[in-house]
A and B are shown apart, each in its own frame.
Chain A
Amino acid sequence: MRKLPLLNAETRPFWTGGEVGELRMHRCDDCARYFHPPAPVCRHCTSLKVTPTPVSGRGRVLTFTINHQAWTPELAEPYVVAIVELEEQEGLRFLSNVVNCPPEEIEIGMPVRVVFEQVEDVWIPLFEKAAA
């Protein structure tokens, strides 16, 4: 059971790219840099020419935590929250979960790849362990 995000013109590409197996990150057409979260303007150069762009979905775990607190009754089992940096650009990162892996096997720096969990009209980008 996950709380779902409100989709709008900026955020929809990120949250629905998984329908076709794509992780989409906003990228500036002028300075060619990615940025997150998605916005109608580039955070680096203020250009208004920005495009949601498919990326590899590969990255590494920048940091993580194993949550043990049942914030709601449905969250009784430990789960892993991580910040993943994508291989496309230093600093291009977002908060997610690492799944399909015993928590004790996860390390900072571990290579990961995106997997999607569909809930209603949202494809939530999660990560699993990838070959080095």
Chain B
Amino acid sequence: MVTRFLEKNVAIVGVGQSEVGRPSSRSAMQLTVDAALEAIADAGLDPKDVDGVCSWPGDNSNGGSFSPVGPLAVLSMLGLNCNWFSGGYEAAGPLAGVMNGAMAIASGMANNVLVFRTITESSNRLTGSKDQSLAAKSGPRDGNFMWQWCTPFNVLSVANITAMYAHSHMQKYGTTPEQLAQIALNARRNALLNPKAVMRKPMTMDDYFASKMISTPLRMFDCDVHCDASTAIVLSRKDIARDLRHPPIRIEAIGAAMNQPYLWDQVDLTGNAMPDAGNAMWARTDLKPADIDTAQLYDGFSILTMMWLEGLGLCPKGQSGAFVEGGHRIALDGELPLNTNGGQLSGGRTHGLGYVHEACTQLWGRGAERQIRDAHVAVCAAGGGPLAGSLLLVKD
């Protein structure tokens, strides 16, 4: 049968991840090679089988610790012969590498694509160099399309803007700090069962409220934790995937729509771009939100996870607070296990691909102590503000 939605012809066939250090003593390139070779071997492939490589954001945008290794470096270091390669920041958020790789395969540009994401923000912090994830990137005057409207007002991190989204959500829908805390508490509970998680000390509600206020109403435990890590996945064309080691995890649908300006103060303050991506994703599949067995949703800041629950239709608009109340529904044994490896809040800010890695880990039944039951359909989503992208993954 011919489908109009060609991502369905692509599957994830292997995953890999370096150590997740806070910090790691390994170089960014070493971490990347660790993850890439593990993913290729996991798929049952050889590096010579890989004919495409891509990453979001690549090494040409923020540079430095936010993305120290790009596709050109990996292509060169691993000796890959590529028919297609791509990197770059301007796309639908941190899952864009997977989206681009899937589109390359679906269009016949490549057969097996290595997608990776490397980040070394932890060691960067420790060396005392200027935090390159902050806005102050270049020159004495700011001409960046987005940041020039932020830095003159001493907004040097999107933490402030995300905090304003949280405040709006609380004002408009009655969302409480206790409900917000459930995202952080759930992440920490799950991290305790993940040997690679960065934060492995139990967290109570009191601990949450005792954590430092960063930007009201967001506390330190609402913000993800820096780490040094690389995550990789291998995508293959469906007919190739069928003959490899693991049951293929199909890309059932991609959500990459953007119907708002890319400006953090102009997007919908309580919805962001998430409904744009979510609605586009659901328009490409017969599956429904009720079919999802586990959700791996961006938690760079806790409020963004709440907004993704709504943007993907996993709960009604404005109701994410009630949805996560008490934490039972989103727990490993709940009706929608969420961020099962501890997310970025406690697992470590692997920034995007970590969600895909964990979704595959669950779908392939490799979750060990944190394994959920009967997982066939997973949704991954990443981004906040005007950055949003989502993936629906199915293991038949």
A residues bordering B, Cβ < 8 Å? 2-8, 11, 15, 36-37, 43, 62-69, 71-72, 75, 79, 81-83, 93-97, 108, 122, 124, 126
Contacts and interface: CB of A to CB of B under 8 A. Distances in A.
Contacts of B212: 68
A65 B167 contact: yes
Given A83-B164, A94-B149, A68 B214 contact: yes
A82 B215 CA distance: 12
Contacts of B157: 69, 71
Given A66-B216, A81-B164, A94-B265, A2 B153 contact: yes
Contacts of A95: 149-150, 153, 155, 161, 264-265
A67 B154 CA distance: 10
Contacts of B163: 65, 67
Contact of A124 (B150, B152, B160, B261): B152
Given A65-B167, A66-B215, A4 B141 contact: yes
A66 B166 CA distance: 12
B156 interface: yes
Given A2-B152, A3-B142, A63 B136 contact: no
Contact of A108 (B156, B160, B167): B167
Nearest to B157: A71
B43 to A, nearest CB: 42
Given A36-B266, A63-B168, A81-B164, A4 B261 contact: no
Contacts of A43: 261
B269 A72 contact: no
11 contacts: A3-B142, A4-B140, A5-B141, A5-B148, A63-B171, A65-B216, A68-B216, A71-B134, A71-B154, A71-B157, A122-B152
A11 B140 CA distance: 17
Given A62-B168, A75-B154, A81-B164, 11 more contacts: A2-B154, A5-B143, A11-B148, A63-B164, A63-B167, A65-B160, A71-B154, A81-B161, A83-B265, A95-B155, A97-B154
B167 A4 contact: no
Given A6-B148, A63-B269, A97 B153 contact: yes
B302 to A, nearest CB: 14
Contacts of A96: 153
Contact of A71 (B152, B156, B261): B156
A124 B148 contact: no
B148 A79 contact: no
B361 interface: no
Contacts of B269: 62-63, 83
A6 B265 CA distance: 19
Contacts of B168: 62-63, 108
Contacts of B159: 69
B287 interface: no
B165 interface: yes
Contact of A6 (B143, B167, B264): B143
Contacts of B205: none
Interface string B211-227: 01111111000000000
A37 B265 CA distance: 10
Task: From A7, A15, A66, A95, name the one whose CB has the most chain B CB atoms within 10 angstroms.
Answer: A95
A101 B153 CA distance: 16
Nearest to B156: A71
Task: From A2, A8, A66, name the one whose CB has the most chain B CB atoms within 10 angstroms.
Answer: A66
B142 A81 contact: no
Task: From B142, B213, B265, name the one whose CB has the most chain A CB atoms within 10 angstroms.
Answer: B265
A3 B164 contact: no
Contact of B215 (A4, A36, A62, A68): A68
B244 to A, nearest CB: 46
A121 B112 CA distance: 54
B151 interface: yes
Contacts of B216: 65-66, 68
B142 A5 contact: yes
A14 to B, nearest CB: 9
B141 A65 contact: no
A79 B136 CA distance: 18
